[in-house]
Amino acid sequence: MGRIAVGGMAEVYRAAAPAPAGAQRIVVVKRMLPRIASDASARSMFAEEARLGAHVRHNNVIQVLDYGESEEHPYLVLEYVQGVDLWRLMRFLTRTGRALRVSEALFIAREMLAGLHAVHEASDDAGVRLGVVHRDVSPSNVLLSIHGEVKLGDLGIARARLREKFPNTAISERAKGKLGYLAPEQVRGIESDRRADIFSAGVVIAELLMGRPLFAGGSELAVLLAIRDSKVHPFLEFALQLPDGLGELIADALAQKPARRHASAELFSSRLLPYQTEPAETLRESIAKLVIEAMDAGPGKLPMQLTPTRTVTDPSQMLEHYARVDAEGENDGLTPVQDAMLHAALLEPTPVPTGASYEVRTTSGARFGPWSFAQIVQALSTGQIGALDKVSVDQAPMRPLTEVHELSRHLHSSTTTSGDFADEDGALRLSGEILPLEGGGIVQALGRAAVERMTVLMLCELGGVRKEVYIKDGAPAFVTSNLASELLGESLVSKNVISRSELDMALAVMPRFEGRLGDTLSALGLVEPVVLFRHIGEQVREKLLDLFLWQGGVCTHYQGVAPPPSGFPLNIDGWDVLEEGLRRRIAAGMERDRVTSLRTRSIVPATGPALTAMRSSLPARLKRVLTALDRPLTVPELVLKLEPEDDPDQPLHDALLLLHIGAVRFHG
């Protein structure tokens, strides 16, 4: 028995086991790692995967043959497929400069979809559908045999739930680029169903035809952003080379909204059938030959071997890093960022590189330093130093901060000295009014931006606190803050996502990743990429929502200022933010007078051309309120008229928002 691969959740062994007829049979034994198997709930999840897998019986699905425990370590016994996985076949074709024919790609796709449909339709012994979602459809989970068989493996049920319970435990989501096959709803952390598997299958099929990754990026977070925003244009451009209609079918599977995707894997497969123009048996033989070639190209029959890398140490712990190495000695499944980390940090003699030393001279003559990279980034982020100041790197001559690439990306737009919104003195040029934030001015500012679909920078200031809110086409796109507590690293430490020592280690090597803390944390393996992605999105959103609770300050508009390319784009609906912000103001008692008035005084739509223009930009729920106001009504009367089903307070919130933005007024 020999170990052939290591994942975060289980060790997989190749073993010889006697078949019923007495001859030896090759099986795969999948065993939970000890650090996870010690948790009772984790063991039950693993058992659930075994139970559900045992109910899936289909020629295109790897069979679960048995389940048990050995020395208190749960294991699964799985069917062994002699061949390679689809990921390895695709790599082999790329290295040899070859590509699958359309019919070959569709044969693999339709066989995979047949197995996926069987997973989705699995039922228990009583015939009750189990509602299984695979959650891990990717090339490494599609196995191809030397006989041309295509089998979907690793249900991923236990893995998906273990990721939720153990967010900081390596569960091998990075292996072989699996991040690139998540659906948008999985990236966002919202509930998903079988249509998430349809999306993942669509990515696999697109890549089979293209011969290259669909969602590529310089970092794992960039890949997740591309998925969240459904940036599938590489395939749409390639699809022009495909037979008429085929590209559209695959694009439907890649739709951002689940409701627009194919309703089932079976339906998707049936729609692809007309484009599979060669007999299935002919294609099966063709795939079998490719599989044998791919196997023969390696040093042995097993497609993968494990090689541990060096380790990196911080003051309190040792982080182990593993890299799969294929027959050519390439790092298998690592992004360019991870490769850089392995070569530039993990293999260096100094465990934690000290980095450059920075000294700063401000325009006022003050001097700071020597600072580490982490210290100067924090000074930039909190506004202690700015774009007009000068810096010396490792005792080199002083030069403007804007000329140092790894530092300039951390400058706030409100301190820059160039761009369409700055004058010759480096000060921002005002192109809009200054709005007071007292009394909910941020609601009026964001509401107006949403109605007029503005692209604008809103500089919000209260005392020494400064926040930059970037609006693009009316929706909040990015937010910065000079509060140290609202920096990403501090936020992650406060939420116990990482420790202080782990943050210090990441900050020490951050220059190697162009000053991007998120990419650094991900590459070091300190936070799983999807978990980190969600934390960053929530943290940026919270910076914005905090403005709704300000009881003073001003907001200055700078029209036409686009979000910085280095910012984390929020991709949220501006009206949803306004709704949440108003709810927080109500909960904090900051809207007490308006709420009391709305309950006792009648309101009517505002008049004039401004309201006419505003109506077309409002969401449906707000238009419904305006339509209902065909006569003066109080909010209680409005509730009776609208009869809200889900939330009886919704008419109050909607009326309050309309009052803030001037779409309604009190009657009389």
Q: Any idea which residues carry the catalytic annotation? A: 136
* Contact indicator for 325, 307 with CB cutoff of 8 Å: yes
User: 553 by DSSP, 3-state: which?
Assistant: coil
Helix 635-642 with 592-600: angle, nearest 10 deg: 70
Please report the beta strands in 330-380, taking only residues with DSSP state E, as ranges in sequence order.
331-332, 358-361, 367-371
Burial class (CB in 10 A: 0-12, 13-18, 19+), 479: buried
Q: How far is CA 346 from CA 175, 217, 563, in A?
A: 19, 22, 34
Q: Is the dihedral of CA 585, 587, 588, 589 positive or negative?
A: positive
Pairing assessment for the beta strands 312-313 and 305-308 based on DSSP bridges: unpaired
Going edge to edge, which strands form the sheet with 10-18? Answer: 2-6, 10-18, 24-32, 73-79, 64-70
User: 570 by DSSP, 3-state: which?
Assistant: coil
Only one residue has tokens 């926040």, namely: 467
How far is the C-alpha of 437 from the C-alpha of 549, rounded, in Å? 10
Residues 6+ apart with CB under 8 A from 337: 218, 219, 220, 513, 519, 522, 523
Distance of alpha carbon 186 from the chain centroid: 8
Q: Is the dihedral of CA 661, 664, 667, 668 positive or negative?
A: positive
Q: Please state, as a whole number, how many other Cβ atoms lie within 10 Å of the Cβ of residue 323.
A: 17
Distance of alpha carbon 477 from the chain centroid: 16
Instruction: List residues bridging with 393 in a β-sheet.
Output: 358
End-to-end, the C-alpha distance of the chain in Å comes to 86
How far is the C-alpha of 305 from the C-alpha of 3, rounded, in Å? 9
